[in-house]
Each structure stands twice: as C-alpha cells, then as structure tokens.
C-alpha cells in the first residue's frame, strides 16, 4: 500500500502524474523511470518517492519491512517501510517530475529527504560530533525539459527530518495538538548543528529565522546551474565495478522551497516520452 498522498504508480508509464496532498511544500508528482540497480528488493516501489513524507513510519502491516512498532517521523526515527522510501543501488537511478517548476535563484531551493537518522547515545542525546545512519551520496542531475541535464555531482545527503515540533523522538502516535514543521522551508544548518544536543536542542536546530520550523532534509543551491527553472530531478548511483562495495541510497521525497515554487509542470508529450525513454531505462555505469 502506497501512502494516500502518493496514490499509485503505473510501472514504466511516465504519464502517471498526480498531485501530492500534504502540509506545505511542493513535491515530486510522477516517476518517469526507475532502475533499482543493486537495491534491496524490500525498497523498490518507486512511488514511495512521490508527495510529502509520511507523519508516521512502520504503521502499515501490508508494506515491506513491517515490524509492528510505528513511530512518528523524527530525527532519531526516520522512515523505514517500503511504502515510504525507495532505494537505488549501484547501477540504479530514479527520475522524477516535480509537481511545480522550481524557480532557480540564490540560496537553497531543492530539498532531498532521505532515511537519515541521528545515532542516539541515550534518550535522544547526540554525540559530539553528531553521527548518522542511512542517507547516502547519490549523483544528482536536474533539468528543465527532461532532455538536457545539469550534473551536480555527488551530494552528501546527511540531514534528518522532523515532522512534529511537539512530539518526542520515539512517540508511536502524533501529539493531540500537533505543531507541524514546514517541508517547504530549507534547513540552513549542517550536521554539526546537532553536535552534543539533547532532544529539545535537536528540535531547536530545525528552527528558522522567522520562528517557524523546517522539516529538515539536505537542501541544494541551484544558482550555478545556468537554469532559470527546474522541472525534473534524477538520482543515480554509478556502478563502480568493485564487488566489495555496495553503495545504496534511499529516497523519501524531494521538496521545493516555498519561495521558489512556480507554475504546475505539464504532463510530458508522447513525443518527448518516446525520445527520453531509452535514456532513462538504461543502466548507468
């Protein structure tokens, strides 16, 4: 079962575009192609990358990687079920269409939300320096037309996510009067923002200059790309041909900054699909 905001994914049908339904932000709305590479078979539902992150993880007994211990999305408890994250391994890629154009300008405007979690040294306490699990370093490419791509190189995705400002790190249910973060507000800090912090300090690291809270994730400044807008994002993990390595990356969502959200992206034409399918289905090495 895929989260309601993500509806369905028709395998290898790039016209399967649909809106997300979530608080704040604009997200990916369609999977144009997906090659799992060496990904774990439990995490190969590409529609998991569409729409906003789920408020809770582990609550769906029909999804893969179910343990029966649901938890709100917090910096110490990231998404971990197969309906919430999609994985690419070496030789893999996923190409996404955004629901809206991202207007390129100065500052961080594209957010990448993964399954990054902070390592807890005890009751929501970070080490100093803070350490993480999950995430990864995919090669990221962006495009305004789904034909010409700008390669941003490997991006170290290492910032966790926060859904509720007023929930604990391991609560199984949302708070009665939830205070939500905003996944359309870029996280401006670094992993060092969590160094040595207890849980209240960890939550405070997500606070923005206007007093609201970012939902976290690793954010990218696209001003050096030469593009004026972005409508497509691609994540790749090259195959290094080394049998002793097995790099993987799990994607939960991509987000557009609130101040960079433009007009809706139209569905691609049949001619464009025919032109680009051979590119997006090819295994990357």
In a domain, residue 14? The reply is no
Asked if residue 9 has pLDDT above 80, the reply is no
DSSP string covering 136-159, please?
B--EEEEESSSSS-EEEEE--B--
Give which of 101, 15, 36, 18 is closest to 235, Cα–Cα: 36
In a domain, residue 86? The reply is yes
pLDDT, position 277? 52
The mean pLDDT value of the chain amounts to: 88
Lowest mean pLDDT: which of 3-7, 97-101, 204-208, 224-228?
A: 3-7
In a domain, residue 6? The reply is no
Tokens at residue 130, please?
Answer: 């803070």
Model confidence pTM above 0.85: yes
In a domain, residue 48? The reply is yes
* Cα–Cα distance measured from residue 230 to residue 113, given in angstroms and rounded to the nearest whole number: 18
| Domains contained in the chain, number | 1
Can the peptide bond before residue 129 be classed as cis, meaning omega within 30 degrees of 0? yes
In a domain, residue 74? The reply is yes
71-96 per-position pLDDT tens digit = 999 999 999 999 999 999 999 999 99
In a domain, residue 215? The reply is no
Tokens at residue 201, please?
Answer: 């300090």
Structural domain for 166, as ranges: 23-207+223-280
């Amino acid at each position: 079962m895929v989260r309601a905001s993500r509806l369905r994914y028709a395998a290898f049908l790039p016209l399967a575009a649909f809106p997300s339904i979530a608080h704040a932000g604009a997200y990916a709305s369609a999977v144009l192609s997906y090659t799992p590479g060496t990904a774990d078979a439990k995490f190969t539902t590409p529609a998991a990358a569409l729409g906003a992150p789920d408020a809770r993880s582990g609550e769906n007994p029909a999804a893969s990687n179910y343990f029966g211990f649901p938890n709100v999305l917090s910096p110490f408890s990231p998404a971990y079920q197969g309906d919430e994250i999609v994985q690419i391994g070496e030789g893999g890629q996923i190409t996404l269409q955004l629901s809206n154009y991202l207007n390129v300008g100065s500052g961080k405007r594209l957010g990448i939300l993964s399954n990054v979690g902070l390592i807890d040294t005890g009751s929501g306490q970070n080490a100093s320096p803070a350490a993480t699990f999950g995430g990864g370093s995919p090669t990221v490419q962006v495009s305004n037309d789904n034909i010409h791509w700008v390669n941003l190189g490997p991006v170290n995705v290492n910032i966790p996510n926060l859904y509720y400002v007023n929930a604990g790190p391991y609560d199984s249910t949302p708070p009665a009067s939830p205070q939500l973060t905003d996944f359309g507000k870029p996280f401006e800090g670094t992993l060092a923002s969590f160094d040595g912090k207890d849980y209240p300090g960890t939550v405070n690291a997500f606070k923005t200059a206007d007093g609201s809270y970012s939902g976290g994730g690793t954010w990218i400044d696209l001003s050096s790309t030469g593009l004026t807008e972005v409508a497509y994002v691609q994540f790749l993990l090259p195959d290094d041909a080394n049998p002793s390595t097995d790099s993987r990356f799990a994607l939960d969502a991509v987000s557009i900054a609130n101040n960079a959200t433009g007009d809706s992206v139209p569905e691609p034409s049949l001619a464009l699909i025919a032109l680009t399918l051979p590119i997006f289905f090819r295994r990357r090495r």
